[in-house]
Structure 1
């Protein structure tokens, strides 16, 4: 954990993004934070010595390029609101690392956990992934090696999962409503990460109607024991709040007090707001409970006006399903090293996969082919060939190369060679080189023969 336990404050940042909206009546709108802010001020939380409010700042384009391949470029895919939402998480990271705060909560929008490594547009209300940008910033600026991301949103955190799929040093655990019943239709138990990072991605799909008791069973019997064994430098929480029983986009039965108790047990170093769309009936109470739990305050009085204790009960069938899922995920975690060794021996020098990504907000279909070198000396470089279409027209073709932290000389040379070879391929519109090892990023527009870097 961070070496700043002596700092007792909880840092907060509010950014409602007044000038960003998908549409005026869209569930992801500024009122999500305005009702919360009113509630917190009414409760007098901002006047307490345990709370410190910080002002947001803009993330730099380089912070985005460190995580994403934005097609055609960062400026085309993000607005100022996106840069401020991402930058707010970095402000809290700086405050945490300086010892100014014990923990922090970025109450910001737009959200980000559905945004993947390659970005052609908006999917699941997300353009860029605030949490993933925070992770890469913490690793680059402060040298953290092992980080854990716990996603408590009702929707599977498929973007965060995809970005760290091949990274054994980032543990991604997502519990969510079963993808058979809810967007994005993923997050099943068999999704456990790439061949060199097996069981560093863990998913806990839960049946619709899961209550406080079911979610805390997952926390107590799966998430907390695994965190204790993984021993991350920091625990980060993608704090979605749409497991709440009043959320209009899902079917779970979590309460505000249940969220607060979860936060107290999980003890995240930084929380980043994701989803949650019951703007009046849930968010003010859930956020109040989370903030009080983070600040070490009594949250026992936090309760929604319509909450009735004992109103939601899980059936025996639901309990059996939850316990079976927890057992399966625990088994995968226990066998992680054995699985990595077995899979690496069977795959050869490269791991390849093809996939399709649908951008539901912007109605874009993307086809990808991903290749990762299974290098014995380093994490291995990655290439991605991406083609995006809207309707019958091609939007953009891209070729992306990523050099990992700790890259060996062979992977570095081969990655640069692949980048340079594709600069001559006129079938590809954009070519990118993401050098995480040296924190340098550049791309070329093959149509105009112009290059740019961050």
Structure 2
């Protein structure tokens, strides 16, 4: 019998009752083929690989993460709570030492869901990794957490949620935003004034294959992780960089994904995108599972896999090396690329216009963060959209100082008296008070 070097918990949830449309790339078959493949290959017969059922996240789990307008029940379905609950189950397995590692193979995905939610964008309603991370911090105490997002699309939602959080390092490897949705994720996007340098983007050119991805893992991602010293590493495990994916332009393979996970050695992986349902996902997921479990994956490959046709040109290699150098420079000297007023007690504001491509919603935001030397700062977001009038979200952060806590309640009382907001939400992580 084969024994897993690392015990691994697998959580499946295909979400039979949720799809954008019956023929949409984001549909239940994404996971059904993977389940069949893993069973046919005998993965569940390996000692140390165990399948678990997902749990169901609660409205409070979502409320400590997102401002949902006009309410959580209006932007979610049962499937969203189970998908997020599958990610939470993965975290519980690892943190309670039931397994050494865990992989939540769940849908709907989440990494395009931002701090504010008015509907579905990029196939995402709530950010399941963020809901999991905030559950971890709520129930297991403060931790330094690194998210490495390997989805082909920039995880603009995860970036937005942790833009001001110095205890969460977000690293995204993705197809260059000049060539793919959502059009963001450039090296100069380095985080807010209280978390500068904790947001790292590695935009890769179309056609990047195994060689390019593994180069930036070795030369950028691993050195930054070594410097940050996280307590947990989470792989936001999108699989749409594959050479057969119908909506992207990359040349990554199942072998490449497996090698990436062996190098990255994540504690937890959570499925994100990936839409080559038959030609890629069963093989990619088999490779990731074996790599996480510490088992030989050298025999895993797609039926049409030919490394010679996927090999990068010398010109592409040179370009990727230049990207890697730029990203490292941004990480090491972020103040050269982002200019903030860092006087404590002042506010930094930014305006954002956000389009929800799936639901055709237009949103305008004014975000204000207090610059603070003691915590990640009190945050307020005024938001209106084509489906909701003016609303307000206020967040008092985890581990907030007295000044930021008091400022959060001052903003709340002022907003209530003004009567100009249709909805007001409060996330008070310090005192575990959530108004939604």
Shorter-normalised TM-score: what interval? over 0.9
Q: Of the candidates 154, 157, 168, which is equivalent to residue 156 of structure 1?
A: 154
The alpha carbon displacement at 1:97 in A equals 1.2
What are the within-5 Å matches in structure 2 for residues 443-454 of structure 1?
443=436
TM-score by length of 2: 0.96
Deviations 1:194-233 (A, max 9, x none): 1121111010111100010000000000001111111000
Matched, 1:381 2:374: no
Matched, 1:400 2:397: no
Q: Of the candidates 413, 430, 434, which is equivalent to residue 437 of structure 1?
A: 430
Q: Distance in 2 between matches of 1:267 and 1:8?
A: 11
CA contact (8 A) 2:345 2:372 kept: no
Q: Of the candidates 363, 367, 386, which is equivalent to residue 366 of structure 1?
A: 363
Between stretches 177-186 and 305-314, larger displacement belongs to 305-314
SS in 2 for 1:304: coil
CA contact (8 A) 2:395 2:428 kept: yes
Matched, 1:202 2:169: no
The alpha carbon displacement at 1:426 in A equals 3.4
CA contact (8 A) 2:245 2:280 kept: yes
Q: Distance in 2 between matches of 1:106 and 1:79?
A: 19
Q: Which residue of 2 aligns with 1:135?
A: 133
What are the within-5 Å matches in structure 2 for residues 293-308 of structure 1?
293-308=291-306
Q: Distance in 2 between matches of 1:420 and 1:151?
A: 38
Deviations 1:288-346 (A, max 9, x none): 0000111111100001000112111222332222111111111111124x669973447
Deviations 1:230-263 (A, max 9, x none): 1000000000000000000001000001000100
Matched, 1:41 2:39: yes
Q: Which residue of 1 aligns with 2:271?
A: 273
Q: Distance in 2 between matches of 1:387 and 1:371?
A: 15
Q: Which residue of 2 aligns with 1:355?
A: 352
CA contact (8 A) 1:179 1:185 kept: yes
Q: Which residue of 2 aligns with 1:263?
A: 261
CA contact (8 A) 2:110 2:123 kept: yes
Q: Distance in 1 between matches of 2:86 and 2:191?
A: 29
What are the within-5 Å matches in structure 2 for residues 177-188 of structure 1?
177-188=175-186
TM-score by length of 1: 0.93
Please list every run of 5 or more consecutive structure 1 residues that lacks an aligned counterpart in the other structure.
1-5, 444-454
SS in 1 for 2:319: helix
Q: Distance in 1 between matches of 2:166 and 2:160?
A: 13
Between stretches 93-102 and 267-276, larger displacement belongs to 93-102
Matched, 1:426 2:430: no
Q: Of the candidates 220, 224, 227, which is equivalent to residue 225 of structure 2?
A: 227
Q: Distance in 2 between matches of 1:52 and 1:408?
A: 42
The alpha carbon displacement at 1:75 in A equals 1.3
CA contact (8 A) 1:196 1:340 kept: no
Q: Which residue of 2 aligns with 1:238?
A: 236
Matched, 1:71 2:64: no
Q: Of the candidates 142, 145, 148, which is equivalent to residue 143 of structure 2?
A: 145
What are the within-5 Å matches in structure 2 for residues 47-62 of structure 1?
47-62=45-60
Q: Which residue of 2 aligns with 1:451?
A: none
The alpha carbon displacement at 1:7 in A equals 9.1
Deviations 1:22-58 (A, max 9, x none): 1111000000000000000000101211201111110
The alpha carbon displacement at 1:111 in A equals 0.2
Q: Which residue of 2 aligns with 1:114?
A: 112
Matched, 1:343 2:340: yes
- Equivalent pairs counted in the alignment come to 433
Q: Which residue of 1 aligns with 2:332?
A: 334
CA contact (8 A) 2:148 2:172 kept: yes
Q: Distance in 2 between matches of 1:69 and 1:114?
A: 14
CA contact (8 A) 1:71 1:396 kept: no
RMSD of equivalent CA atoms: 1.7
The alpha carbon displacement at 1:102 in A equals 0.7
